[in-house]
A and B are shown apart, each in its own frame.
Chain A
Amino acid sequence: MDAIILQILNGLDKGSAYALIALGLTLIFGTLGVVNFAHGALFMIGAFCAVTLNKILTLGYITIDETQKDFLGNPLKVENTYVETWFGPELGAAIIDWSVPLAILFAIPVMVAIGFIMERGLIKHFYNRPHADQILVTFGLAIVLQEIIKYFYGANPIPTGAPEVFRGSLDFGVLLGFDPNVIIYPYWRLVYFLFAAAIIGAVFAFLQFTTFGMVVRAGMADRETVGLLGINIDRRFTIMFGIAAAVAGLAGVMYAPINSPNYHMGMDFLVLSFVVVVVGGMGSLPGAVLAGFLLGILESFASMNEVKSLLPGIDQIIIYLVAIIILLTRPRGLMGRKGVMEE
């Protein structure tokens, strides 16, 4: 029982990342009809927003400490961060410690700007082009973004820690009446799950309860008619692209402490998030979220020793296997709409 609860937690956590990326992808699919292969790269750039902010906060000037030696036997160069000099060591250290949550504020404008530039500068010209061309151009863009990050940050993962207070783990089992130390779960992963839930809720509320959202939903259902009504759909779709980019970016920012960001983390998620979107059903936002969590949980269950000893290697293929089964039993995924990307 305790093992199952643990894996459900793990699944929710993995599912959070899948669901957030898939949500953004579906927004772009649904509103603009564009296959965005650069979406994984947006997630990666989000994570590097956290890295960059951390780098900025720890910028410093160099003083030479004659008492210590560096590896070549020369006097040691000591870095003094500006933040700690300006705000005093204690507050300065606290600001640096909280760089990942602070990066959310930093990432939102950056990601929205990247989204706008991408949509206006590139994607806009591909609305009426075949999906194959969209794939080629966004894939090219993904490679370029990735290589730019690699040029500046290298290929090695860059450790980016969560704030000190979130570093331990919570004895989750005790809350449910288990013995202590049976179900423990890292604080930051719980934070990630709650954060994802909040973002997903916010996106849905936005689409459900605002006029803007209503127009966008109408546009998703029937773009032409809404356009005929004299509503400027294009401008709203640009904003939607910005929002989708921000969602992917925020997923990335908060993911940075879970696994050290590296330049190809976007590609690692790209294929999976496409599977998630399609399993959820094209054009369905609830479908994408549902599929994200479902696949996350199944993946976690498949990695349990009991399951693996029964079916060796099942954890390697579970996501794809489930995708095949779902697509064969439900022609348009879990909640897909008819006629979206079926040609």
Chain B
Amino acid sequence: MSKSNFTRRGLLKTGAVGSAGIALPTIFTAGSASAFTNAPTGGSVTLGFNVPQTGPYADEGADELRAYELAVEHLNGGGDGGMLSTFSSKVLDGTGILGKKVEFVTGDTQTKSDAARASAKSMIEKDGAVMITGGSSSGVAVAVQGLCQEAGVIFMAGLTHSNDTTGKDKKANGFRHFFNAYMSGAALAPVLRSLYGDDRRAYHLTADYTWGWTQQESIQAATEALGWETVENVLTPLAATDFSSYIAPVLNSGADVLVLNHYGGNMVNSLTNAVQFGLREKQVNGKNFEIVVPLYSELMAKGAGANIKGIVGSQNWDWKLENQMGSRYTGTNAFVKSFGEKYGFPPSQAAQTCYAQALLYADAVTRAGSFDPCAVVEALEGFEFDGLGNGPTLYRADDHQCFKDVLVVRGAENPSNEFDLVEIVEVTPAEQVTYAPDHPMFAGGDLGSCNPGA
């Protein structure tokens, strides 16, 4: 059997080894001697990768996990270093974090708040993880973020697009690299005007839960500012698999654009159904009928197959970004190369955001010189960086949201290969998607102060 130092407590026992019966009063199992939860004391540090491994988002979770494993490899000096060489901050040198080897544990969120919290708790309580990251839905992100705040560890959100994650539910210990619904609206609106004109009538189908509502609200506000009219907003049940009864009335509603505020399996099905009903071939009000899917991903494009052709949406990142839009997006090619060579296909946007989050955390710890969550928060707040594939980026101090360029994409008409399902239409600069921290769509939250636990 091999020896492993997988758990922190194996390393923490310094004072207590051999002296059986010594009881240390602790909170969240951290030794009372340390200043914060799960302070790493040995030669390694444990990070917790909490991603969906079962359920409908399992493939997205698998891609996130690949990215994390790659990030750990690069942080420990393995592989070709990936984006370490392009990252604007140069403190990471491939010797782990602060000289400690990076170890990781994985867990399954099942895309359920309860399961995600149970998994995160076991990483904190059992494995001594000092940072939790990952996830593929906003409900999970908010739930785990709240837990990390209480427990006193850092949470680096994975894929979460709801405004609430860095709005109403923002927490001092939580950080989001991914973009949000407001940004999608702000980025899409000008492109929609130039593609489809400024007197369109939009019909919204919206997934009936928090993320769907915030996205619908954002898109409606952004398109109405252009002069578009919103004919109707219909909420669809989360459990719906067949959207025909919601799609059928669209054509006779007088609308000439259909906005699908759905994600994952819901989006694949609603788009497939909309195309089946022939909406894309119809003419309404003398214009071609159009479909818009505000939040897009490569996996969804794959699931929707030919139906995705010509459909406009927004993305956080795409693997072709540097090739097509120039060296502003440096880092992209370095990442695609190391990911592609290891796994045989290009990374998804979920993978990129997770890889970037892992690097950003490692960098913040190194710059702060400590794993103390409060020091990390301080190092990340207001941090400006470049070279992680998204161009110049700011981690805003007010809400722990990253501000960077947003991509407007379209399903490729003639994909040259199976990875080329999405083409980049335009990149909306960060200034256009930036909003005030007290914007009404993000109001009501309280960041609180950082919690080091223990």
Contact = CB atoms under 8 A, between A and B. Distances in A.
Given A76-B416, A181-B282, 8 more contacts: A6-B248, A71-B345, A154-B59, A156-B59, A161-B305, A168-B278, A184-B277, A185-B248
Interface in A139-183: 150, 154-161, 167-169, 181-182
B55 interface: yes
Interface in B52-67: 54-59
B159 to A, nearest CB: 14
A3 B239 contact: no
A262 B56 contact: yes
B19 to A, nearest CB: 47
A10 B265 contact: no
Contacts of A201: none
Interface stretch (B214-222, B268-276, B391-399, B432-440): B268-276
B114 to A, nearest CB: 18
Contact of B419 (A10, A71, A181, A300): A71
Interface in A1-52: 2-3, 6-7, 9-11, 13-14, 17
B249 A6 contact: yes
A295 B128 CA distance: 51
Given A189-B276, A260-B269, A299 B251 contact: no
A181 B282 CA distance: 9
A162 to B, nearest CB: 9
A150 B245 CA distance: 29
9 contacts: A13-B244, A150-B58, A159-B302, A159-B306, A160-B305, A186-B277, A258-B272, A265-B241, A300-B244
B242 interface: yes
Given A14-B244, A260-B269, A264-B56, A70 B417 contact: yes
A319 to B, nearest CB: 10
Interface in B294-329: 299, 302-307, 319-320
A7 B306 contact: no
Contacts of A76: 416-417
B249 A169 contact: no
Contacts of B306: 159, 161
Contacts of A186: 276-278
B249 A305 contact: yes
Interface stretch (B27-35, B333-341, B423-431): B333-341
A260 B272 CA distance: 8
B10 interface: no
A146 B266 CA distance: 20
Contacts of B242: 13-14, 17, 258-259
Nearest to A269: B241
A300 B303 contact: no
Contacts of B281: 168
A316 interface: yes
A260 B282 CA distance: 23
Contacts of B252: 2-3, 182
A184 B299 contact: no
Contact of A169 (B57, B208, B276, B416): B276
Contact of B244 (A156, A189, A262, A315): A189
A237 interface: no
A303 interface: yes
B246 A303 contact: yes
Given A10-B244, A155-B59, A159-B305, A258 B249 contact: no
Contact of B337 (A72, A155, A260, A300): A72
Instruction: Tell me which of A156, A159, A181, A303 has the highest count of chain B C-beta atoms within 10 A of its own C-beta.
Output: A156
A311 B97 CA distance: 56
A272 to B, nearest CB: 9
A116 interface: no
A188 interface: yes
Nearest to A6: B248
Contacts of A156: 59, 299, 302-303
B70 to A, nearest CB: 15
A262 B277 contact: no
B241 A259 contact: yes
B244 A159 contact: no
A3 B419 CA distance: 40
A154 B303 CA distance: 11
Interface in A47-70: 68, 70
Contact of B245 (A262, A299, A312): A299
Q: How large is the interface on A (under 10, 10 to 19, 20 to 34, 35 or more residues)?
A: 35 or more
B167 interface: no
A14 B269 CA distance: 14
B234 interface: yes
A72 B249 contact: no
B346 interface: yes
A94 to B, nearest CB: 17
A224 interface: no
Interface of A: 2-3, 6-7, 9-11, 13-14, 17, 68, 70-72, 76, 150, 154-161, 167-169, 181-182, 184-186, 188-189, 258-260, 262, 264-265, 268-269, 299-300, 303-305, 308, 312-313, 315-316
A260 B305 contact: yes
Contact of B303 (A68, A159, A189): A159
Contacts of A70: 417, 419
A71 B303 contact: no
Nearest to B305: A159
A3 B268 contact: no
B276 A188 contact: yes
B265 A262 contact: yes
Nearest to B346: A71
A247 to B, nearest CB: 19
A251 to B, nearest CB: 13
Contacts of B276: 167, 169, 186, 188-189, 258
B248 A10 contact: yes
Instruction: Tell me which of B244, B249, B251 has the highest count of chain A C-beta atoms within 10 A of its own C-beta.
Output: B244
Given A258-B242, A315-B237, A169 B278 contact: yes
A312 B233 CA distance: 13
B378 interface: no
A71 B319 contact: yes
B199 interface: no
Contacts of A315: 236-237
B251 A184 contact: yes
B232 interface: yes
Contacts of A161: 305-306
Contacts of A11: 245
Contacts of A14: 242, 244-245
Nearest to B420: A71
Contact of A71 (B269, B304, B417): B417
A174 to B, nearest CB: 14
Q: What 4 A-B pairs come out closest when comparing CB atoms?
A: A159-B305, A155-B58, A157-B303, A169-B278
A300 B241 contact: no
B251 A181 contact: yes
Nearest to A9: B248
